[in-house]
Amino acid sequence: MMLAMPLAIAAQDNTWEQVQVNSQDQKYLAGAVPEVDGHVVFTKTINAPGKSAKQIYELLRKDLQVMTKEPNQIEQSRLTLEDADNNRVVASFQEWLVFKNKPLNLDRTRFLYQIIADCKDGQADIKLNRIVYIYDEERDMTTYKAEEWITDQYGLNKKKTKLARVSGKFRRKTIDRVDYIFNRFTQLLQK
Sign of the CA dihedral running 182, 65, 116, 118:
positive
Distances (CA, A) of 59 to 55, 81, 127, 128, 158: 6, 15, 16, 17, 43
Which pLDDT belongs to residue 24?
A: 53
- DSSP notation for 120-154: ETTEEEEEEEEEEEEE-TTSS-EEEEGGGTTSHHH
What is the distance between the alpha carbons of residues 146 and 175, in angstroms, rounded to a whole number? 12
Tell me what pLDDT residue 108 has: 93
Do β-strands 123-135 and 42-47 pair in parallel, antiparallel, or remain unpaired? antiparallel
Bridge-partner residues for 151, per DSSP?
none
184/74 Cα distance (integer angstroms): 20
Q: What is the pLDDT of residue 136?
A: 87
Which pLDDT belongs to residue 15?
Answer: 54
Instruction: Give 38-88 as a DSSP string.
Output: TEE-EEEEEE-TT--HHHHHHHHHHHHHHHTTSTTB-TT-EEEEEETTTTE
pLDDT per residue rounded down to tens, the chain (191 residues): 443 333 333 334 565 554 444 545 789 999 999 999 999 999 999 999 999 999 999 999 999 999 999 999 999 999 999 999 999 999 999 999 999 999 988 899 999 999 999 999 999 999 999 999 999 887 889 999 999 999 999 999 999 999 999 999 999 999 999 999 999 999 999 98
Axis crossing angle, helix 167-189 with helix 53-67, rounded to the nearest 10 = 140
Rg (CA), the chain: 17
